[in-house]
Structure 1
Amino acid sequence: MEKHNVLVVGEGGREFAIAKKLQQSPHVNQVYCAPGNVGMATINVETVAIEEDNFPELIEFAKNHDIAWTFVGPEDDLVEGIVDDFHAAGLKIFGPNARAAQLEGSKDYALNFMNHYGVPTAKHHSYRDQTAALNGIDEFGFPLVIKENGLAGGKGVVIAQNRDEATSTIKEMFANGQSRLVLEECLVGPEYSMFLLLSNGHYRILPMAQDHKRAYDGDKGPNTGGMGSYSPLPQLKEADYQRMVKEVVEPTVKGLVAGDYHYHGILYIGLILTDAGPKVIEYNVRLGDPETEVILPRLDTDLYELVDAAINDEPMPDVQISPLATFGVVVASEGYPTSPVHGQQLGKLPDASDVEIDFANVAGTIDDLKGNGGRLLMVLSKAESLQEAHDRVYQYLDHHEWHQCFYRHDIGAKANL
């Protein structure tokens, strides 16, 4: 069997999980990750000292190291046109081009797409100036969802409970340089993460997951990039899943074809199951973090084979999903997400046969780790049941002293764990 080199762009927990899964493929010789993180030494992934936004050097590296194709992790690079640049250099790359990446790069753009192609979403309106946005508050009632239009790493959303909070939030966002805000009705219901692997109108659905966005137990505190995740979802009925596919996935994919997007990459659909049926909260044009860390371990189909077929417009293999459950909890720096501590001593983390660690924002060496801000790592376990995986993870977390760190203690509560 011919073996290939692949390149993953990014440095966080998501890229760790992608690189780990690709390195397990019999089709892969070596996975490189640029810039990667020090924890990747534990999974035999070779890090490359090139920043993820340095497209010319990444292109040069891909040419010089016989890279079959590149997998892009972060949304910023996709919005900035890394795919367009790689294509212009004659290189294969997995991810949407800059035009398609606007589905995440601009909330207004994504909502217009949903409206145009009949994808159910919240009542909404976009505003280009503060006065108009303040005058628009009365259209919605409370609680009111206020979103920054551009990329915000999952954190540019405020759910205002009253007029005073809405007014101060709108003024603050415009004062911080936002050129456009989106106001939306607040949808009520359980939220779910669905990931499509797309190849120009053909798609495969990856395992479902549920994310926990708020920083603290009980869904308190500010929105974060995600504090934990699990898969599968015992609370999601098969009939509701089929509605999501029919009412959300199918019109979305048809819209991408009709709009001439030539989409090759991942599309995340953030869903909320309301009393009126499934509705879309947002699109992301890449895998989510921390969902990636729990869905890829459940993917029995070779990820290399899926991506390679998608890039080359060949028939993609069917997705085979493991019956085992995966559960993960994020350890974050004290002060995250607003002002995370940097440099705290983590030391050498204890080994355990029943959990794995996906590293993210860490520095130092694997035997003497230090925190490097934000979300540091995820502790995860794969087991016969969610409850067993949950118990393993929390036993590990609770028996280790985490200096200047925190984690949520109620991940999986919505699955009655």
Structure 2
Amino acid sequence: MKDNLNLLVVGSGGREHAIAKKLLESSHVEHVYVAPGNIGMESEGISTVAIEETDFDALKGFVYDHGIEWTFVGPEDALCAGIVDSFRKDGLKIFGPDKEAARLEGSKDFALEFMEKHHVPTAKYSTFRSSEDAISGLEKFEEPVVIKADGLAGGKGVVIAKTKAEAEEEIKTMFRKGQEQIVLEEFLSGDEYSMFVVIGEEDYRILPMAQDHKRAYDRDEGPNTGGMGAYSPLPQLSESDYERMVEEVVEPTINGLRKAEFNYIGLIYIGMILTGQGPKVIEYNVRLGDPETQVVLPRIDSDFAELVDAAINGNPLPEVKQTENAVIGVVLAAEGYPKSPVKGHKLPELEESGDISIDYANVAGEFPNVTANGGRLLTAIATAETIEDAQQKIYRYLEEHEFDKCFYRKDIGYKATGKRF
């Protein structure tokens, strides 16, 4: 791997903040730019670039002008829009799957067909192109029913309808809002787990496991969100269940990607439910997740930039070493999130220390005087020897600050510790 590298990360949220920080840890990396980034990143030696994620020509121009070695794509929108195809057409190195492979996230129906074809365990499902057909199709499913918008929805396109009557209303609403296709799925019972896999030309590496908390409020109540917090490692996940995940889910997924001949040099997120029958996939994402990235990357005790560089250049992937420490991240969201978050209110100055860090997302202003500029504003992250210690540390830290017109869950990590704050 070369030295003194200039790298570009595409994206603007907490995930991209965490990625840029991790890449900067490498002895091979001189500078990391993030386009468009956010104001909170600039406090840590990360340069933000005022170019939108889907302005491919401007991004490529920046790469040429600034001697960028390779580009790391954070968000799904750019991947599904074909940023990898555009860069590779011009001979530029980039980390992420091409547009065809990105359909694994861009279309729920496409992903489910892929799983079915390649024998990846998942839920029973049916796809519908009209409200009438979907409502008729409800008779095939028991309550509760999972309803998914087929396209990208920022983690908010899934509804778990407790009754058939509620499902009917949700179906009508989705089609009324312009959905051309929806998917109905059986509800899977069990704990949900997040697995991230780096895929090279010939091999793959699994990153530390995490568990996300998707519901807006404590005790897993309220609407689905893009994620309200996460933690790693997972003491409740047995070694035998982990091995089943690798054997029954990861390996057939990777084999399926090879057989489909996708141009897939990048990351895949596999969201799984550990059911009584074993692990079953509920979704694929074609990139790192948010807020899991903020707790997974700090647990990597090897050079993440070397891993990405090897994948991009077709070299054997180095092993991924993990720290023994535990990491927990709690998302601070604006009041009204996920439907109508308020904006413009000032956030308190948040001090960082060796074991407390902040990854910023939807914020504006001038650091450290930042204001809310969207739904999920930042992730506060604590590192400690155990999940229990990290959980106590992060909530003690958050309780020391007053947050106006904001909220956060007070039970992130409870499935590992049994504790709520």
Task: State whether structure 2 residue 385 is matched by structure 1 residue 384.
Answer: yes
The aligned runs of 1:274-353 (5 Å cut-off) are: 274-353=275-354
Q: Which residue of 1 aligns with 2:360?
A: 359
Q: In the alignment, residue 163 of structure 1 is paired with which amino acid?
A: K
SS in 1 for 2:17: helix
Q: Distance in 2 between matches of 1:286 and 1:364?
A: 28
The aligned runs of 1:102-113 (5 Å cut-off) are: 102-113=103-114
The aligned runs of 1:164-179 (5 Å cut-off) are: 164-179=165-180
Q: Which residue of 1 aligns with 2:93?
A: 92
Name the TM-score, length of structure 1 as normaliser: 0.99
Tell me how far 1:197 sits from its aligned partner.
0.3
SS in 2 for 1:200: coil
Q: Which residue of 1 aligns with 2:58?
A: 57
Tell me how far 1:340 sits from its aligned partner.
0.3
Q: In the alignment, residue 297 of structure 1 is paired with which amino acid?
A: P
Task: State whether structure 2 residue 411 is matched by structure 1 residue 410.
Answer: yes
Q: Which residue of 2 aligns with 1:190?
A: 191
Tell me how far 1:366 sits from its aligned partner.
1.3
Q: Which residue of 2 aligns with 1:248?
A: 249
Q: In the alignment, residue 3 of structure 2 is paired with which amino acid?
A: E
Tell me how far 1:351 sits from its aligned partner.
4.4
Name the TM-score, length of structure 2 as normaliser: 0.98
CA contact (8 A) 1:101 1:285 kept: yes
Tell me how far 1:320 sits from its aligned partner.
0.4
Tell me how far 1:201 sits from its aligned partner.
4.4
Tell me how far 1:347 sits from its aligned partner.
4.0
Q: Distance in 1 between matches of 2:204 and 2:416?
A: 28
Q: Which residue of 1 aligns with 2:268?
A: 267
Count residues in correspondence: 417
Q: In the alignment, residue 99 of structure 2 is paired with which amino acid?
A: A
Change beyond 3 A, Cα 1:351–1:31: closer
SS in 2 for 1:239: helix
CA contact (8 A) 1:71 1:95 kept: yes
CA contact (8 A) 2:268 2:284 kept: yes
SS in 1 for 2:231: strand
SS in 2 for 1:282: strand
CA contact (8 A) 2:200 2:316 kept: no
SS in 1 for 2:102: helix
1:338-395 deviation per Cα after TM superposition (whole angstroms, max 9, x unaligned)? 0001111114224445311111111111121101111000111111111111111101
Tell me how far 1:19 sits from its aligned partner.
0.3
Q: Distance in 1 between matches of 2:141 and 2:93?
A: 45
Q: In the alignment, residue 269 of structure 1 is paired with which amino acid?
A: I
SS in 1 for 2:100: helix
CA contact (8 A) 2:357 2:380 kept: yes
Q: In the alignment, residue 183 of structure 2 is paired with which amino acid?
A: V
SS in 1 for 2:266: strand
CA contact (8 A) 2:362 2:374 kept: yes
CA contact (8 A) 2:40 2:368 kept: no
Percentage of pairs with the same residue: 59
SS in 2 for 1:268: strand
Q: Distance in 2 between matches of 1:54 and 1:304?
A: 25
Q: Distance in 1 between matches of 2:263 and 2:82?
A: 15
Q: Distance in 1 between matches of 2:250 and 2:408?
A: 33
Change beyond 3 A, Cα 1:106–1:384: same
CA contact (8 A) 1:332 1:376 kept: yes
Tell me how far 1:262 sits from its aligned partner.
2.7
Q: Distance in 1 between matches of 2:4 and 2:131?
A: 56
Q: Distance in 2 between matches of 1:303 and 1:240?
A: 26
Q: Distance in 2 between matches of 1:407 and 1:348?
A: 17
Change beyond 3 A, Cα 1:201–1:271: farther
Change beyond 3 A, Cα 1:351–1:94: closer
Q: Which residue of 2 aligns with 1:77?
A: 78
Tell me how far 1:232 sits from its aligned partner.
0.1
1:2-26 deviation per Cα after TM superposition (whole angstroms, max 9, x unaligned)? 2110000000000000000001111
RMSD: 0.9
Q: Distance in 2 between matches of 1:176 and 1:34?
A: 31
Decide which moves more: 343-352 or 155-164: 343-352
CA contact (8 A) 1:244 1:278 kept: yes
- Segments of 5+ residues of structure 1 without an aligned counterpart are none
Tell me how far 1:299 sits from its aligned partner.
0.4
Q: Which runs of 4+ in 1 moved over 6 A?
A: none
Change beyond 3 A, Cα 1:170–1:386: same
CA contact (8 A) 1:201 1:254 kept: no
SS in 2 for 1:415: helix
- Segments of 5+ residues of structure 2 without an aligned counterpart are none
Q: Distance in 2 between matches of 1:151 and 1:216?
A: 23
CA contact (8 A) 2:144 2:164 kept: no
Q: Which residue of 2 aligns with 1:19?
A: 20
Q: Distance in 1 between matches of 2:88 and 2:352?
A: 42
